[in-house]
Amino acid sequence: MEQKKIILTGDRPTGNLHIGHYVGSVANRLSLQEKGDFDKFYILIADTQALTDNADNVDKVKNNVIQVAIDYLSAGIDPKKVDIIIQSQVPELAEMTMYFMNLVTVARLNRNPTVKEEIKLRGLNASMPAGFLCYPISQAADILAFGSTIVPVGEDQLPMLEQTREIVRTFHSTYDCDIFPLPNALLPENKACHRLVGTDGNAKMSKSLGNCIFLKDEPEVVKQKIMNAYTDPNHIKISDPGKVEGNVVFAYLDAFCKNEHFARFLPEYANLDELKAHYRRGGLGDVKIKLFLNNILQELLAPIREKRKKLEQNVDEIYEMIFENSKKASEIAKNTLAKMKDAMGLDYYKFLKK
Ligand code: TRP
């Protein structure tokens, strides 16, 4: 039997999507969508996962489900090609998680580098909810419920994929079966896109740090954030030599700038290498590179913002669509769950047939 190509990826709905999401995942999803080389493509809004460290903040998570859905659609995700689904509306995922939890040790969960980093960042430790420690297991359920083979994610999600593959192997060997395909991560091609720094130079663009440029930001806000971005603190006079490494404007240019942008917005230079060389040499001011970046980002964000304004008028329809998609996804997950229970010998229903 030929392996079906099922793509699944997702985000936690804890805030609107920003340009870090755009280069890190959305752009990749758009190109996969356009290539069309798949049998099914899901994007999961992981509200249950978001609740693992937001139990007392259900409203925030709930309200961001529609925000993130609108962000996807306005960025160009085509609902005819991609099914946007809501994790909590596929309850089979929780049941699968319960069975998978018995196949993973607490020691193994404690070793997950991404979870470790998140614990540190959020200052969890003793106050860590059990659900938070276990979210990589529930993420495995997200991936395995639909037989996903391709999981487009950023580097930080590689430990989740590793955990998922381990669960597949352990499930198969424990219950002597072969029901799940082994999923593979798909990283974005452009290295600069793996993780976009915040406008303040912090390694992570994050809503709580207030260093994001959101897809929905108004033009003046985008410009202001760029004009305030961290560059090289020792590049004081225009004639000073400047540093490109650790400079937020160049980090963003690495991610967003194409040669064609020079022809349109900065014809004195042929490409980014020339611009960097001039900056390093001295004689190139921050305002000039910031205005260049601003032109590039404004051009990218204008159509997204416009589409969002239209979509915001159709919130009911969007809810209906993602609920409907989730219902269909739930049927598929039910089928997977039945296969799991059969393999486990958890087949009480067989008694009824006698
Ligand atoms: N952990 C992912 C994130 O924080 C979100 C997510 C949940 C996910 N389930 C998934 C990603 C399944 C890929 C596949 O961004």
Contact by Cβ (8 Å): 8, 148: yes
Q: Return all residues near 319 (Cβ < 8 A) that are at least 6 apart.
A: 66
Contact by Cβ (8 Å): 183, 223: no
Given the CA of residue 153, which atom of ligand 1 is nearest to it?
13
Positions of the chain with pLDDT under 50: none
pLDDT at 193: 58
pLDDT at 251: 95
Fold of 6-195+315-351: Rossmann fold (3.40.50)
Could you give the CA distance from residue 206 to residue 18 in angstroms, rounded to a whole number? Answer: 9
Which residues form ligand 1's pocket by a CB distance below 6 Å?
8-12, 44, 46, 49, 139, 142-143, 151, 153, 157
∠ CA 343-344-350, nearest 5°, is: 80
Each domain of the chain, given as residue ranges in start order, spans 6-195+315-351, 207-309
CA of 260 to the centre of ligand 1 (A): 34
Could you give the CA distance from residue 324 to residue 330 in angstroms, rounded to a whole number? Answer: 10
pLDDT at 192: 55
Contact by Cβ (8 Å): 328, 320: no
pLDDT at 182: 97
End-to-end CA distance of the chain: 33
CA of 9 to the centre of ligand 1 (A): 6
pLDDT at 261: 97
pLDDT at 327: 98
How many beta carbons lie within 10 A of that of residue 270, not counting itself? 12
pLDDT at 164: 98
pLDDT at 206: 84
Per residue in 16-72, pLDDT (tens digit) is: 999 999 988 899 999 999 999 999 999 999 999 999 999 999 999 999 999 999 999
Q: Going edge to edge, which strands form the sheet with 83-86?
A: 83-86, 40-45, 6-11, 150-152, 184-186
CA of 5 to the centre of ligand 1 (A): 18
Which CATH superfamily, name and number, covers 207-309? Tyrosyl-Transfer RNA Synthetase (1.10.240.10)
* Ligand 1 pocket test, candidate residues 18, 21, 44, most atoms within 8 A of CB: 44
Q: What is the pTM of this model?
A: 0.94
CA of 80 to the centre of ligand 1 (A): 22
Contact by Cβ (8 Å): 123, 155: no
